[in-house]
Structure 1
Amino acid sequence: MKSHIKNSTDYLIKQLPKATAYVNLNMNIIHISDSWVNTFEFSRNLSDDSNILNAFPLLSNEWQQDLEYAFLGFKNIARKDKYFDRDNKLNWLEWIIHPWYDEKENVIGAIIQIENISKTIELEQKVEKLELLLNAKSEIAKIGSWEYNVITNKLTWCKMTKLIHEVPLDYCPSIEMALNFYKEGYSRNLVRQRVEKAMKDGDTWHEKLQLTTAKGNDIWVQASGKAIFDDGKLVGLIGSFQDITEEVKVQQKTKDSEVLLRTLIDNLPLNVFIKDLESRKTLVNKSECDYLGMSNDEIIGKDDFELFHKESAEISRKEDLHIVQSLTPMIRKETLNIKKDGTKTMFLTSKIPLLNDYLEPTGIIGFSLDITHLKEKEKELRRLVHITSLQNKKLINFAHIVSHNLRSHTANFSMLLGFLIKEKSDEERENLLNMLISESDNLLETIDNLNEVVEINTVQNQVSKPIHINTTITKIKKSIKSLLRHKKSRIKNLIDDSVYVNGIPSYVDNILLNVISNAIKFEDPRKECVVEISAKKLKKYTVITIKDNGIGIDLEKNKTKIFGMYKIFHQHNDSRGIGLFISKNQIEAMKGKFVLRSKVDKGTTFNIYFKEND
């Protein structure tokens, strides 16, 4: 019967769900559960009468002390310790040892229950590590948390939240007190609305707000929160709370710097722009917007082909590619920009490559100074220098002419007066007086010619106007009618009746009269004299061409005489050498010019360039 009971007890213990062992006062195993054997593989070889201390050698000292304590009838508290299994893997055990009593309440041994709590310890360690990490992050990022229990109307702040509010760690806030920390006005009103909305509709909020701490310091915080429901019923609110004061200060400082930079570049007296690697504008200043006649938004994202004439865009793109590829700046280069409407602007342009931290190009920054007016002034200055140089040459030449001619006349006067004083014969004296009168007339004519030349080059108030060229030619033909008849010449006018030239009427009349008259006077007696007059438009000029078939001029021999004063290059009784000299001064006074072609015995062609209105 006792054997049957023992076997039943042993079988019952084997089925216990928790690893359990019964040991006698000698610490030998009497009963052991299957869960013990299955949980701790090395215990499979244990048999009855095996010493329990051999099961976990590393724990034998702790177990022996606890067993001896149990043998005295005392119950042990649960204890934990670690051990390494056969695979040298770390494990954690939790055990408790109770006294084992017989039916007479005598201690006959101890009951040991153990549990492998390695996973539980591992989870606890993970939780602890996570808490440490969260606390560290909370301190570094200044992020706190809070929780509000609607049922108990209790608000709980974590340590960091209290530190941010600069309240004691034993401070107990209420929901109303918490809301009153927010700065009166926008921040406080907004957070109240968000809390009420969350409690009513379950909304989540995430707002940047300003509050005043318990110590009176104004700070910026990122306040977040959400509602917690249980079976559709609101039970509370939870949220986070981050001090972002430094971040806001940095953002404000950055914003202030951006405003300062934008103000600076918008008020620079030059165009500023930034392009990406595709030559698309990513930043432009006010001057660039004004130049293009477009808003900032209309320009950003567009490349030069969308903003300028194709020719200008191609040149600019080549410049950009060279700068990006070579990383070489382009400094103070004169560039011509042509807008879509054809407007041309000359810029002094610099372009510099923009580099990242790895010295790789990310774009181009450019600066362009409008120098169109300077180039126009430079062009005008060159023109004035050229005119001044020509005028100086004319002045020197004119001075030589005046000096030579007046000296010649005064020498004749002096010589004739000397003869007159010495001469006794009345007849010879009369001849000398006639010669003096003739020389006086010549001197007056010379002075008149010189005055006319001076007037041409000094009078500035003569007004140019459109002159119908055929009307002028008809008038000239009438004035030289007798000359035409005498020379048996004819004028062949090929000019369309719509042609006008711009000039001073008296100058135009004189120029055409001189050239046409010379063409007739210097005819070739061996053939009929024909003077052909034609006209054409050529850039900024209307060109009147007067072509004859006369005796021609040896240009190699006489090129310096043709337009000289009193220069004669033909043996002709009517030649005085003054007509073409005056005509040349007149055409140049009207900003025109003569171009002459001639061959001996072939004829002469005068191209007279009349300047159009600017």
Structure 2
Amino acid sequence: MQKTHTNIFIDDAPIEIGVLDVNMHFVKCSKFWLRKIGKTEKEIIGKSYYEVFPDTTDDIKKIHEYCLKGSYISFEGEKVVDKTGKVQWFNYKINSWENEKDKVGGLIIVREDISHKRNEDEYRLKAQEVANVGGWEVNLISNEVYWTSITKKIHGLDDDYVPNLETGINFYKEGYHREKIVSLISEAISNGTPWDEELIIITVNGEEKWVRAIGRAEYINGKAVKLTGSFQDIDERKRAELVHSEVQKRLNIATKTANIGVWDYDLAKQELSCDNETLILYGAETSTQKNLHKAWKSILVEEDRDRVINEMHYAIQNKDEFNTEFRIKQRNGSIKYIKSIGQLHKDQNTGAVKMIGANWDITEYRHAVLKLDKRKESFAGVFNNSSVGMALIGLDGKWLKINKSLCNSLGYTKAELMNLTFQDVTHPDDYLKDLNFLDQLIAGEIDNYQIEKRYFHKKGHTVYVILSVTKVTKIDGSLSHFISQVVDITSRKEAENKVKSVLKITADQNESLTNFAHIVSHNLRSHSTNLSMLTGFLINETDPEERANLINMLNESSDSLDETITHLNEVVSVKLNVLGKLEGVSILETFDSVRKSIIAHLKENDVILNIQIPKEFVVSAVPAYLESILLNLLTNSIKYSSPKRRLVIDVKTKRERDKVVLTFSDNGLGIDMKRHRHKIFGMYKTFHKHKNSKGIGLFITKSQIEAMNGKIEVESSVDIGTTFTLYFNCFK
């Protein structure tokens, strides 16, 4: 009966239990254990334990041998790794059993699978290690203190460190933190109040570290006997929180100071919430928070409402930025402009998708922009329609913008002028003066200047203007560009020049008349004296032959007087009535006409004539004067050619702004410039012994070209040749 009960107990025991004989063969095994190992009773009864469990270690086998000697043993935490690599942990209780002869009949083995519990312990320890959480315990009866290895590690201590209550408290930072932990411990011991506090400790290395200290007291019979708790390193998280808190604090100050409101819109709940700054911005009551989205839509200006709502929907659907401006109508009827920006954001904790954004008042900015736009329109109207030339000029001298009047004054299209700089169209004699004033503007010495200057027209003639320049600065005070106003005064200047020319002609004529009077007085006196003397001789002479000779001398003196009077008439005629006779004359056609008139003379003297005169060069001249000038230069070159070489004459022209420059060169006898430079164009000045030299040609040539507002220059070298340079005004 006893055995039957024993068998039933073993069979139905809710634990892993087995009975083995002295040879370690199974005699009996609980069904619970059989199910665990996936065997039937028939498969293991009579089988060796080591056959059923081939992974049994040698240490366990030694324990079995020890227990078969009549001993009992219990041990925990045997680790078993099967062929598949699966790890299991077991607790064992092993005892010998005796047969009827009171001898050891075998072993009773009770096995408990603690793998799940052991894994949980390991996971907990790993979690504590990862989270840097240590444990601690204080026995208030024996004053013994226990710290886990992680707690010691947090303090910067080795594992062999033995803590006590006083040194443990002294690790807390002196001042608030140490006083706080002492207060918490006292409260826990006195009243049983648990604590959970974030404090600073000073590690053994002197490093400040934030920790989370959790603790509670255990009581027996109303007396605190133990303190237990955990200890976590939260330094990295806490410092990040403090930085975030500081940033948030600054942000709050900034948004409040700048009147920037923050809002968020929950997409799922379709709820809008905001901070107090936003409510102030919209002039709403705190109670409006209950239905803020509806209230917001209601105060949008009707013309903006649909657009703004559609922009928000578009940003949500396309996960794009919400960036817009709109107007709201306030209670007093005034309009306020609002700038609003938002971004989609997913809450990591709740998973809720929200659009989070900010808005601020831009009413003053919008009003300023509207005023600026009106001023720009006004300036653009004045700029484009002004009868005065206007331009915006960059710091590099390039046109930024020009108006039609300036284009008309200079004869360029807008596209042509934009490809030039102001330096390109400025008269070289005025460039440095203009640049000097610009340098003063840039240096901040002056704010504007006004000068009279000259530009070149596209066709080459001079345009006289009054230029006013003002500098324009940026908000930061640095120079942006220049505004130039150009008043065309060409017609006025030409009138002034004409008056000056008339006055000059008058002065020249007066001077010429004075000179003429001297010449007449001198020349005619000489001729009259000569005639008087010859007449006296003739009256008193009786010799027929001598009388005939005196009559011949009287004829020659009369011819000389006639020639002198002719020359004087030519000089006077050059100075009179020139301005009304100026017209456009082709240099090439005139020169060709002169050449033909003396073609025989040119061939007789075997002259080489090189002509480079473009057909389009037309000058302002009196045709007869221009013909006379060219004829005189040609005949002089032939007259004063060198007997040593064949005469070569080079005639060239070029354009210099509003002038046509003609150079007339030969390889003749040349003139000694050191001796005669100041006498070359004098009346009756000759420099070579030639039977036909009278010294009147160059004098008349200079008078003629100056009468046409031109000028003549000369360079010459003895036995090398002479070059005359003549300047004529282009015909307008």
TM interval, shorter chain, is: 0.5 to 0.7
Distance 1:61 1:192, change over 3 A: closer
Q: Note the alpha carbon deviations across 1:103-141, whole angstroms, 9 max, x for none.
A: x99753221322233333222212211212222222233
* Structural mapping, 1:389-538, within 5 Å: none
Give the drift of 1:21.
1.9
Matching residue of 1:189: 306
1:198 aligns with 2:280: no
Whole-Å separation in 2 of the counterparts to 1:227 and 1:60? 45
Distance 1:79 1:295, change over 3 A: farther
Aligned AA (1:252): L
Aligned AA (1:271): G
Q: Note the alpha carbon deviations across 1:303-347, whole angstroms, 9 max, x for none.
A: 146x64xxx465565445444556687965443322233353112
Identify which of 119, 128, 140 aligns with 2:245: 128
Aligned AA (1:370): D
Q: Note the alpha carbon deviations across 1:421-440, whole angstroms, 9 max, x for none.
A: xxxxxxxxxxxxxxxxxxxx
Matching residue of 2:235: 118
Aligned AA (2:284): V
* Structural mapping, 1:149-160, within 5 Å: 149-160=266-277
Q: CA RMSD in A?
A: 5.5
Give the drift of 1:64.
4.6
Matching residue of 1:276: 394
Whole-Å separation in 2 of the counterparts to 1:271 and 1:370? 8
Whole-Å separation in 1 of the counterparts to 2:283 and 2:386? 48
Aligned partner of residue 262 in structure 2, secondary structure: strand
Matching residue of 1:248: 366
1:19 aligns with 2:134: yes
Aligned AA (1:145): V
Whole-Å separation in 1 of the counterparts to 2:191 and 2:352? 53
Contact residue 179 and residue 188 of structure 1 kept, 8 A? yes
Give the drift of 1:372.
1.0
Contact residue 304 and residue 317 of structure 1 kept, 8 A? no
1:539 aligns with 2:656: no
Whole-Å separation in 2 of the counterparts to 1:123 and 1:234? 24
* Structural mapping, 1:264-303, within 5 Å: 264=382, 270-292=388-410, 299-300=417-418, 302-303=420-421
1:373 aligns with 2:488: no
Whole-Å separation in 1 of the counterparts to 2:182 and 2:353? 52
Give the drift of 1:495.
11
* Structural mapping, 1:315-394, within 5 Å: 318-325=432-439, 333-350=451-468, 365-382=483-500
1:137 aligns with 2:254: yes
Whole-Å separation in 2 of the counterparts to 1:343 and 1:208? 56
Contact residue 437 and residue 449 of structure 2 kept, 8 A? no
TM-score (structure 2 length as normaliser): 0.47
Give the drift of 1:31.
2.9
Aligned partner of residue 341 in structure 1, secondary structure: coil
1:146 aligns with 2:263: yes
Identify which of 329, 335, 345 aligns with 1:212: 329
Distance 1:217 1:136, change over 3 A: farther
Aligned partner of residue 286 in structure 2, secondary structure: coil
Aligned partner of residue 130 in structure 1, secondary structure: helix
Q: Note the alpha carbon deviations across 1:514-561, whole angstroms, 9 max, x for none.
A: xxxxxxxxxxxxxxxxxxxxxxx993231587x9xxxxxxxxxxxxxx
- Compare 29-38 and 269-278 and name the one that shifted more: 269-278
Give the drift of 1:191.
0.8
Whole-Å separation in 1 of the counterparts to 2:453 and 2:269? 78
Identify which of 331, 336, 341 aligns with 1:224: 341
Contact residue 409 and residue 488 of structure 2 kept, 8 A? no
Unpaired segments ≥5 residues, structure 1: 6-11, 394-459, 467-493, 498-536, 548-594
Whole-Å separation in 2 of the counterparts to 1:280 and 1:219? 42
Aligned AA (1:41): G
Give the drift of 1:262.
4.4
1:180 aligns with 2:298: yes
Matching residue of 1:78: 196
Aligned partner of residue 137 in structure 2, secondary structure: strand
Aligned AA (2:489): I
Aligned AA (1:250): A
Aligned partner of residue 171 in structure 1, secondary structure: helix
Of all paired residues, the percent bearing the same amino acid is: 15
Aligned AA (1:39): I
Aligned AA (1:238): I
Whole-Å separation in 2 of the counterparts to 1:359 and 1:200? 45
Whole-Å separation in 1 of the counterparts to 2:414 and 2:232? 74
Give the drift of 1:88.
4.5
Whole-Å separation in 2 of the counterparts to 1:44 and 1:79? 25
Matching residue of 1:570: none
Whole-Å separation in 2 of the counterparts to 1:291 and 1:381? 23
Aligned AA (2:263): W
Whole-Å separation in 2 of the counterparts to 1:274 and 1:391? 48
Matching residue of 2:91: none
Distance 1:235 1:218, change over 3 A: same
Q: Note the alpha carbon deviations across 1:544-590, whole angstroms, 9 max, x for none.
A: 87x9xxxxxxxxxxxxxxxxxxxxxxxxxxxxxxxxxxxxxxxxxxx
Contact residue 19 and residue 115 of structure 1 kept, 8 A? yes
Aligned AA (1:136): I
Aligned partner of residue 152 in structure 2, secondary structure: helix
Aligned AA (2:371): K
Distance 1:319 1:29, change over 3 A: farther
Contact residue 78 and residue 94 of structure 1 kept, 8 A? yes
Distance 1:91 1:314, change over 3 A: same
Contact residue 156 and residue 204 of structure 2 kept, 8 A? no
Contact residue 352 and residue 365 of structure 1 kept, 8 A? yes
Contact residue 304 and residue 313 of structure 1 kept, 8 A? no
Aligned partner of residue 250 in structure 1, secondary structure: helix
Matching residue of 1:423: none
Whole-Å separation in 2 of the counterparts to 1:62 and 1:163? 41
Contact residue 412 and residue 458 of structure 2 kept, 8 A? no
Distance 1:226 1:70, change over 3 A: closer
Give the drift of 1:194.
1.0
Contact residue 165 and residue 214 of structure 1 kept, 8 A? no
TM-score (structure 1 length as normaliser): 0.54
Contact residue 80 and residue 92 of structure 1 kept, 8 A? yes
Give the drift of 1:221.
1.6
How many pairs are equivalent? 425
Aligned partner of residue 459 in structure 2, secondary structure: coil
Contact residue 409 and residue 457 of structure 2 kept, 8 A? no
Distance 1:141 1:317, change over 3 A: farther
Aligned AA (1:179): K
Distance 1:23 1:225, change over 3 A: closer
Contact residue 319 and residue 344 of structure 2 kept, 8 A? yes
Contact residue 411 and residue 458 of structure 2 kept, 8 A? no
Whole-Å separation in 2 of the counterparts to 1:125 and 1:20? 26
Aligned AA (2:256): E
